[in-house]
Amino acid sequence: MSKKPLILGIESSCDETAASLITENNEGFPIILSNIISSQEEIHREFGGVVPELAARSHMEKIDWIVKKAIDEGGRKIEEIDAVASTAGPGLIVCLSVGLSFGKALSTAINKPFIAVNHLEGHALSPKLNYKIKYPYLLLLISGGHSQYLSVEGLGQYKRLGTTIDDALGEAFDKTAKLLGVEFPGGPQIEILASKGNSKKYKLPRPIFNKGGCNLSFAGLKTAILKISKSIKTKQEKFDLAASFQKTILEILNKKTKIAFEEFEKKKKLKEKNFVIAGGVAANKAIRSLLIDLCKRNNYQSIFPPIELCGDNAAMIAMVGLEKFKKKQYDNLDHPAKPRWPLDKDAAFLKGAGVKL
């Protein structure tokens, strides 16, 4: 029996320090041996958002033992690793540099290939950790720093169908939560507040709702929330605004996803239609319910990574590393950190495309 590849993944693009060890079985299906994630929520809470310098310092303090823990929990020895894969972008450059430098140093020390990974590609391939999914498939990437519809054609082959032209969906959730007095990270709490409110209380704008294809925009919605929040006096009004905000988001995603389906199916003869929803916002139950129902009505299979793989993690980075390792797609040690690194290099520049924060 031939030895199966053993890949170490390292992630430090924002405020999670993460490391993961993965391999594969005899059928070529990936196996997660360990997936360690250390969050920095407590560090940034008092500032209401991620402070780059503090995040980078925390990465430097933790990266050594996080990687060691991933190797130990994976039940392997460091010399057994076949390649080291580190996130190289997009993200905060001071944060990216920590994991990227550590990965390069480690690969040099054990004399094994180094692989620079696009964080967005990690999300794009994350369903492969749990599902036998074939190319092409449609991806909705919704997180704190990016919101995009992408046609995933193969490893390194992506076509952007739509993106946010300003702010990301996760950022809109976090900003709304902050305006409602919820501590950072408040985005996930919006769903709880919304469950107690009247979603019809406030009529909110839906930017570029009837134009722009499946591109998205949330800046105008955030501005409206800001104005209304200043006049809120009761808890019930807070709940109503959260509910109205979430309802507006669902309406936008419903409309734009239908358009994305149409764009994805153009010039394709699809034997199966798969729709992957990944990123931290994919954990929102209301959004999940909407998209699952939409897929059923349009003959798509909806695929969500497990909750622990929706947000930033190193298992998805190792997954890309595994795919690239099998194709011998290695990188030089002078590979730079890239704050901006779009998956579709041919797509027109838009502010929100390929930007982590």
Query: Does the pLDDT value for residue 156 go beyond 70?
Result: yes
The token duo for 35 is: 């997936």
CA distance 273 to 295: 9
Question: Residues of the chain with pLDDT > 90: what percent?
Answer: 82
Measured CA to CA, the distance from residue 40 to residue 37 in angstroms comes to: 10
Does the pLDDT of residue 5 top 70, yes or no? yes
- Confidence (pLDDT) at 354: 43
- Residues near 87 by beta carbon (within 8 Å), at least 6 away in sequence: 10, 11, 12, 13, 96, 99, 100, 117, 118, 119, 122, 317
Angle at 90 between CA 89 and CA 95, to 5 degrees: 70
What is the amino acid identity at position 322?
A: L
Mean pLDDT on 304-314: 90
Domains along the chain? 7-130+308-326 (3.30.420.40), 137-304 (3.30.420.40)
CA distance 264 to 8: 33
Answer for the pair 330, 114: CB distance below 8 angstroms, yes or no.
yes
The residue ranking higher by pLDDT, 50 or 103, is 103
CB atoms within 10 A of CB 119: 29
AA identity, residue 136: P
Tokens (6 digits) for 53 = 């310098």
pLDDT of 261 higher than 70: yes
Model pLDDT, residue 2: 66
Query: According to the model, what pLDDT value does residue 180 have?
Result: 93
What confidence category does residue 351 fall into, taking pLDDT thresholds of 50, 70 and 90? low
- Which position has the higher pLDDT, 132 or 2? 132
- The two tokens of residue 33 are 């041996």
pLDDT confidence of 271, banded at 50, 70, 90?
A: confident
Is residue 164 predicted with pLDDT exceeding 70? yes
Whether residue 219 is predicted with pLDDT greater than 90 in this model: the reply is: yes
Tokens at 235, concatenated: 């808890």
Which pLDDT band, with edges at 50, 70 and 90, does 138 fall under?
very high
- Burial of 259 (C-beta count, 10 Å sphere; 0-12/13-18/19+): middle
5-9, 37-41, 174-178, 209-213: segment of lowest average pLDDT: 37-41
pLDDT tens digits, residue range 199-217? Answer: 999 999 999 999 999 999 9
Between the alpha carbon of residue 176 and those of residues 116, 187, 199, the distances in Å are 34, 8, 15
CB atoms within 10 A of CB 92: 25
Q: Alpha-carbon dihedral of residues 131, 82, 4, 138, nearest 10 degrees?
A: 20
Average pLDDT value for residue range 227-247: 96
Query: Does the pLDDT of residue 1 top 50, yes or no?
Result: no
At 355 the pLDDT is: 43
**Residue 89 region by backbone torsions, left for phi larger than 0, else alpha for psi between -120 and 50, else beta:** left
Instruction: Give the per-residue pLDDT at 303.
Output: 96
pLDDT band at 185; cut points 50, 70, 90: confident
User: How many CA within 13 A on the CB side of residue 272?
Assistant: 11
User: Which tokens go with 87?
Assistant: 């996130």
Whole-angstrom Cα distance, residue 99 to residue 90? 13
Looking at residue 357, its pLDDT comes to 35
List CB contacts of 293: < 8 A, sequence separation 6 or more: none
What is the pTM assigned to this prediction?
Answer: 0.92
Mean pLDDT score of the chain: 93
What DSSP element (H or E) covers 85?
strand 83-89
